[in-house]
Amino acid sequence: MRIALLLHLLGVTVWIGGMFFAYMALRPAAARLLQPPQRLALWRETLGRFFTWVWVSIIALYASGLHMLASAYGMRAAPGYVLAMAAIATVMTAIFAYVYFGPFRVFAREVDAQNWPAAGSALNRIRQLVATNLVLGLVTVAVAAFGGLLG
């Protein structure tokens, strides 16, 4: 159970922490210091690497989460806050999969073609969806911290 919890916490840290860093630190610095071609190329490389780790995190989160759920509750109903975390995780995963297979593919293709306006438009869509997932992730952390107190 401890290994599952460790994997779960590492997955959460990588995914949510990575989104926080990208949105709150890298994005404003890149916008301030780099011209669009350099900024968009930086984001293509950064997101390509980060998204690989998000997939690893998702696998770790689902595997560890299901293991902890089965170990703690068996076939009984889990508490509402656990179900809420699972529901939010499902929404976050769907949003990420959409980003990865949709706007990110367009973004990468447009950066490779040096079509900077189209790449910028795709990156803006990614930014909006990452912001949504960041908020959902932070809400999930709050639910994890306080959910047991709510019953």
Q: Please give the Cα distance from 102 to 126 (Å, whole number).
A: 9
Arithmetic mean of pLDDT, 16-41: 98
pLDDT tens per residue, range 124-141: 999 999 999 999 999 999
Per-residue confidence at 67, pLDDT binned at 50, 70, 90? very high
Assign domain 2-150 to a CATH class. mainly alpha
CA angle 57, 59, 64 (to 5 degrees): 95
pLDDT for the residue 44? 98
Mean pLDDT value of segment 29-55: 98
What is the model's pLDDT at position 148? Answer: 79
Domain boundaries, the chain: 2-150
The answer to whether residue 90 scores a pLDDT higher than 90 is yes
